[in-house]
């Protein structure tokens, strides 16, 4: 198996790992799921983008209650009281990343809890202008009301036999995003709570189509 490039901490963002050229014109940001960490999705990056794209895997801010891994907010607390602070913190981290690579040249991909966070902040009324959003095995936050200030397109993927987050959660995401005017596609697959390899071609195509091209629309 080929050796992947050495990953290093991102110089500007605490709790982040990166692959690829610093200061690249395009960036893929990865948000891991509940109980994982920044390493979990990092190796996915080179499978989806070329070596001219920087891949940044953010680490969730809080320890997981089981003692291993991280969480964006505590799912075990009623009504998820940590969610508002987690939302604000993630927006600030993305804005910080946007200082060297514009958010309009940034695609954010999240898995499970990371997908819920990506879709929440990427469709917020604060108007983060992202090139694209990918939510894998995600779910809508309570009271989530997606806005569409930048007409960001969204790709959703979900296993039809997911035992952790039901497939219907992504159907609800799709319906709410469509209602807000987002271009959105939901790709189901025969499988569980994962990002299945069969999705890679569709993920690569979506990512390539979302990059702004000189002289394009």
183 assigned to some structural domain: yes
Q: Are 34 and 71 in contact (CB under 8 A)?
A: yes
Q: Which domain holds residue 98?
A: 8-75+82-210
1 assigned to some structural domain: no
In degrees and rounded to multiples of 5, residue 187 shows phi and psi of -110, 110
184 assigned to some structural domain: yes
Q: Residue 110: how many CB atoms within 10 A of its CB?
A: 29
The vertex-152 CA angle with 171 and 98, nearest 5°, equals 125
2 assigned to some structural domain: no
Tokens 């998820």 correspond to what residue? 80
Look at the chain and report how many structural domains it folds into: 1
Reported as a single tens digit per residue, the pLDDT across 78-108 is: 889 899 999 999 999 999 999 989 999 999 9
Reported as a single tens digit per residue, the pLDDT across 100-116 is: 899 999 999 999 999 99
Distance CA 109, CA 132 (A): 9
Q: How many helices (H) and strands (E) would you count in the chain?
A: 6, 10
Reported as a single tens digit per residue, the pLDDT across 14-63 is: 678 999 988 799 999 999 999 999 999 999 999 999 999 999 999 999 88
Share of the chain above pLDDT 70, in %: 90
215 assigned to some structural domain: no
Distance CA 29, CA 107 (A): 6
Residues 6 or more apart whose CB falls under 8 angstroms from that of 151 comprise 181, 182, 183
| Helical ranges in 26-76 per DSSP H | 39-42, 45-48
119 assigned to some structural domain: yes
Instruction: Give residue 6's pLDDT.
Output: 47
Give the count of alpha carbons within 13 A of 74, CB side only: 11
155 assigned to some structural domain: yes
CATH assignment at residue 88: 3.40.50.1820
34 assigned to some structural domain: yes
Handedness of CA 19, 25, 48, 154 (dihedral sign): positive
């Amino acid at each position: 198996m080929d050796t992947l490039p050495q990953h290093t901490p991102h110089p500007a963002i605490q709790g982040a790992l990166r692959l690829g050229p610093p200061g690249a014109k395009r960036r893929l940001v990865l948000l891991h799921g509940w109980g994982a960490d920044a390493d979990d999705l990092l190796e996915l990056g080179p499978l989806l983008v070329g070596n001219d794209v920087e891949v940044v895997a953010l680490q969730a801010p809080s320890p997981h209650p089981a003692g291993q891994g991280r969480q964006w907010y505590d799912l075990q607390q009623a009504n998820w009281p940590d969610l508002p602070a987690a939302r604000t913190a993630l927006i600030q981290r993305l804005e910080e990343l946007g200082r060297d690579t514009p958010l309009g040249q940034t695609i954010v991909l999240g898995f499970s809890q990371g997908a819920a966070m990506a879709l929440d902040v990427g469709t917020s009324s604060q108007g983060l202008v992202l090139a694209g959003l990918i939510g894998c095995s995600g779910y809508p936050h309570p009271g989530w009301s997606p806005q569409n200030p930048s007409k960001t397109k969204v790709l959703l993927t979900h296993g039809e036999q997911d035992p952790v987050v039901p497939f219907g959660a992504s159907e609800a995401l799709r319906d709410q995003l469509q209602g807000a005017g987002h271009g959105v596609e939901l790709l189901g697959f025969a499988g569980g709570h994962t990002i299945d390899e069969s999705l890679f071609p569709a993920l690569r195509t979506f990512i390539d189509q979302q990059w702004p091209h000189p002289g394009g629309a």
